[in-house]
Amino acid sequence: MPFAQSLLLTIYYALLTLVAAVMFYRALLIPRYFLQRRADEEPGARFAAPPLVTVQLPVYNERFVVERLIDSVCALDWPRDRLEIQVLDDSTDATVGIARAKVAQKAAEGFDIVHVHRSDRSGYKAGALRAAMDRAKGAFLAIFDADFVPTPDFLRRTVDHFTDPQVAFVQARWTFLNDRYGLLTQGMGMLMDGHFVLEQVTRSRGGYLFNFNGTGGIWRRQAIRDAGGWQDDTICEDTDLSYRAGLAGYRGVFLRDLGCPSELPVQITALKSQQHRWAKGLTECFLKLVPRLWRSDLPLRKKLEGTFHLGANIAFPASLFLTVVTLPVMLVRIQRGFAGEVAALFDSVVFALVIVTQVLFFVVATREVHRDWVARLRYLPFFPLVGTGLAVNNARGVMEAFSGLRTEFVRTPKLGVLGEDRALVRTRERAYTGGRDLWQAVVELLVGAYYVAMAVYQAPRMPVAAVITGVLSLGLFTMGGATVRALWIRRQARGEAGAEDAAPAAAAVLPRADAPARAAAPAAEGAPDPATALGRGAGPGPV
């Protein structure tokens, strides 16, 4: 066999092995999940009196949801004299005035609440949390991003876990206020359930290191200090701190049956921004923490678990490169006759096992936390399309991490739309559509065209594979097309955005154009009560 063909096949099977290993690791989470105890950990003791808790709300340009956030935190069932609230506002738009006015209102009502505005945004979210920690009065710090709506009993159900001095943080499972908005939110809700139900539960209850999810949880302030504090050398500061705390001898507690309602992104471009940040940030943590992990005295099983967890996103560039070499590999196999057919059969078996295990992964996660789990399974076909569509986006994040490229912490836009008011979404998305990555959209469209070319070539020889390849190309066309659409919206809205993003100081006194719509939003949009939204996803098993 010529050297070039041997090299091509070596690269192909190396990439296939890497992708399959990551997928089978995820599949092994299913039996491990069922081997763990079936109920959340209960606190070993109770505090004699409610300790002082500081709630920190890091926000950045969150005009549509910041008031809802502050209202929900002020509704927490906790003594007012034992509750401090810090609104950590790095905003550069009208959010500053909106938040400042809301804080003033709540302070007049007797809440211990402050508005802290930074103008330089140094360190991004990690920098805001780091700067605010020395000002905090509480020994425990609860953190909620702007799109979260914690239920009133959140502190009652988390704080007593800190009677164990080894507990660094308590993380609640995210539930979703708007998962029924459309296909994107339904599918993403199922995807997130897979992470929270199978990954987080299995790691937490099995005694492994696992990550604080950045929001919907509460930290022991001393554990943050002992772990080295909030650091901004990765864009997943939450995972970074969680692992450093674990290496310092602390542990986390994950509560599957405590839901913290939040809002899913309703725009594909917002989803891409979120997924890029997570893929890049986790890979940065992989590069930073895995050497420390393997130098530690943790058992081998915990080192392996942490390595697979932090390095899982490497499968994205591997799968993308695997796609690129697939067509040349097909040509080589045709030349090899029977041997090529055997190799193709082996590949088919591997891909089939990967697909079956991943489908089972999400079926189990959905069944565990949703009463209507059977009906929700109709969204399963969403995952291959999204996984393929995000390959370029997430591979870019991983490669940026490996190259050491530092990029801005790009927030995920949240629009505060909980019903099905798509006209309101179109209006509000103009405030956040960036559209800076035209080159990525072009790559996505080109890779989609490459999939179509492969499907055409496969059609006479492997018709079933050709159909699958053709369908998967839709994911890439969707992702690339969404970015092109975002560019067009941004161009149309440029003048409107300038008028809407008036000086923050004026926003506190000037009425906003959408004020009547905001006031009527719960009724007009059919916004669910947070407790009702929580009830849809809480509780062990399909009840």
DSSP codes joined into one string, 51-92 = PPEEEEEEESS-TTTHHHHHHHHHT-SS-GGGEEEEEEE---
Say if residue 523's pLDDT is above 70: no
* pLDDT over 70 at 496, yes or no: no
The per-residue pLDDT for 447 is 93
For residue 529, the model assigns a pLDDT of 39
Contact 410, 277 (CB under 8 A): yes
From 45, 114, 53, 47, select the one nearest 79 (Cα to Cα).
Answer: 53
Q: Which residue type is seen at 285?
A: C
Q: Is residue 202 scored above 60 in pLDDT?
A: yes
Q: What integer is the mean pLDDT of 365-389?
A: 86
- Checking if the pLDDT of 304 tops 50, the result is yes
Checking 373-382 for CB contacts under 8 A at 24+ apart, the result is 373/542, 376/186, 376/190, 379/183, 379/186, 379/187, 379/190, 380/190, 382/183, 382/186, 382/187, 382/190
Catalytic residue among 90, 147, 160, 421: 90
Q: Rounded to an integer, what distance in angstroms lies between the CA atom of residue 410 and that of residue 85?
A: 25
Q: How far apart are CA 38 and CA 54, in angstroms?
A: 31
* Angstrom distance (rounded) from CA 158 to CA 351: 42
Decide if 13 contacts 346 (C-beta within 8 A): no
The pLDDT value given to residue 420: 64
Dist CA 456 CA 364 (whole Å): 36
Cα(325)–Cα(181) distance, integer angstroms: 38
Tokens of residue 94, six digits: 């009208």
**How much is the pLDDT for 432?**
64
Using CA atoms, how far residue 290 sits from 20, 50, 242, 245, 458, in Å, is: 21, 38, 13, 14, 41
pLDDT at 260 over 50: yes
CATH 3.90.550.10 in the chain is located at 51-266
Average pLDDT over residues 275-287: 96
The model's pLDDT over 400-447, given as tens digits with 9 standing for 90+, comes to 999 998 877 777 777 777 766 667 776 776 666 554 578 889 999 999
pLDDT more than 90, % of the chain: 55
Mean predicted confidence (pLDDT) in 512-527: 35
Q: How many residues are recorded in the chain?
A: 543
- Say whether 394 sits in a helix, a strand or coil: helix
pLDDT (average), residues 54-74: 96
Average the pLDDT over 287-292 and give the result.
98
Predicted confidence at residue 330, as pLDDT, reads 79
pLDDT at 336: 66
The pLDDT, as a whole number, for residue 431 is: 67
**pLDDT of 520 strictly over 60:** no
Global pTM reads 0.85
Examine the pLDDT at 278 and tell me if it is beyond 60: yes
Residue 403, burial from CB neighbour count under 10 angstroms (0-12, 13-18, 19+): exposed
First-to-last CA distance in the chain? Answer: 59
pLDDT, position 542: 32
The pair of three-digit structure tokens given for residue 73, joined into one six-digit string:
């935190």
Output the pLDDT for position 294. Answer: 98
- Which residue from 383, 369, 416 is spatially nearest to 186, judged by alpha carbons? 383
Q: Which of these is catalytic: 147, 238, 347, 421?
A: 238
Query: Tokens representing 493?
Result: 């809205």
Percent of the chain residues topping a pLDDT of 70: 85
In the chain, DSSP finds a helix count (H) and a strand count (E) of 23, 7
Which backbone phi and psi does 454 adopt, to 5 degrees?
-65, -40
> Measured between alpha carbons, how far is 462 from 465 in angstroms, rounded to an integer?
5
84-99 burial code (b ≥16 CB/10 A, e <16): bbbbbbbbebbbbbbb
> Taking 70 as the threshold, does the pLDDT of residue 534 lie above it?
no
Name the residue among 171, 241, 203 with its Cα closest to residue 36. Answer: 203
Q: What's the Rg (C-alpha) of the chain?
A: 24
What pLDDT is attached to residue 54?
A: 98
Second-level CATH architecture of 51-266 = Alpha-Beta Complex (3.90)
Is residue 209 within 8 Å of 203, Cβ to Cβ? yes
pLDDT at 76 over 90: yes
- For the question of residue 90 being annotated catalytic, the response is yes
Q: What is the mean pLDDT of the chain?
A: 85
